[in-house]
Amino acid sequence: MLLVGALAVTVTACAVRTSQHGAIFTEAEIQQIQQGMTRDQVELTLGSPNAKSTVGDGVYYYISTKTEQPVGFMAPQVVDRRVLAVYFDENRQVERVAHYGLEDGKVIDFITRKTPTYGGEEGLLQELFRNIGSGVNPSVSGS
């Protein structure tokens, strides 16, 4: 009986724990965000953003982070991160939507299948994705 208990504890300690933090959104929710919607309509659909840009016409960022903890006593590691960016025009209406993630080690927009090539935002996206899979666990706002 003692051996069975010890074996159960050992197996449980070795199980990988997966956690999802931040904004969790479905493909259907992303498709509901249409050009011309107001900021209030976006927030009614997706909730409050994890972050907002402070330059330009404005961007809402919804950040989702998936972590795995290989062994109970080890620190969790970030294995995936997705960023849904909703861009607004000067009238505070949706101009476009981008869903960023990593593919082959590069930040890519899953909607257009292109890498970002504009101004200072590329630096923000690189910062959000830089440590995935490296064993470093940066904290993320909203997680």
CB 114 within 8 A of CB 107: no
Is 87 part of any domain? yes
Is 54 part of any domain? yes
Instruction: State yes or no: pLDDT of 50 exceeds 80.
Output: yes
How many structural domains are present in the chain? 1
Q: What is the DSSP letter of 93?
A: B
CB 12 within 8 A of CB 71: no
The per-residue pLDDT for range 76-109, each reduced to its tens digit, is 777 778 889 999 998 999 999 988 876 644 555 5
pLDDT over 70 percentage in the chain: 59
CA distance 105 to 89: 30
Is 141 part of any domain? no
Is 32 part of any domain? yes
Is 134 part of any domain? no
The per-residue pLDDT for range 100-128, each reduced to its tens digit, is 876 644 555 556 655 555 555 555 566 66
Is 142 part of any domain? no
Instruction: Determine the pLDDT at residue 55.
Output: 73
Quote the Cα angle for 133-135-137, to 5°.
100
Domain region containing 73: 2-129
Interstrand relation of 77-88 and 51-52 (parallel, antiparallel or unpaired): unpaired
Is 139 part of any domain? no
Instruction: State yes or no: pLDDT of 48 exceeds 80.
Output: yes
